[in-house]
Amino acid sequence: MHRDLAARNCLIGVNDTCKISDFGLWLAPETMIRGLYSNKSDVWSCGVLMFEVFSNGEVPYKHISKLSEVRREVIFGSLRLKPPRDMPPEDAGIMLSCFENNPLSRPSFDDLKRAYVGVLFASYKSSCGVGKLQRMMGWFAADKAEIAPVKT
């Protein structure tokens, strides 16, 4: 469990190895309210990370100047990040599923992985064919059962 997964906390090192750093800015509502951290609160942060990646590093909630107001609106209002304009619909659905109010309704990281494998498979299947895709993603060819959409 990380507690603050966000683009600013992903450091790229030697051989394009990604290291996760820092803790604490774009938190899930249950974390803000009760200080509860879980894999599901990290899933919320993963949704924020997706927003940051697909918006080319745009600051979440940039139209709100005070962090206390962001916290209040996320906790008591229904402030949720909207998918960036150019975000593909499949990715937008995955991102939005991360922002479920009830942590138990959010996907697990295994669910997110399966959803992204499905998105990648569909994308590459249409552009280069299944055989080439299976060679490119040898780990995937062994278990096609890994494909499953995230419930949105």
- From the candidates 4, 42, 86, 111, give the one annotated as an active-site residue: 4
Angle between helices 89-97 and 109-128 in degrees, nearest 10: 180
Instruction: Give the other-Cβ count within 10 Å of 120's Cβ.
Output: 16
Cβ(39)–Cβ(48) under 8 Å? Answer: no
CB contact set of 136 (below 8 Å; sequence gap of 6+): 124
**Active site (annotated) includes residue 16:** no
Cβ(82)–Cβ(36) under 8 Å? Answer: no
Report, as residue numbers or ranges, the catalytic residues. Answer: 4
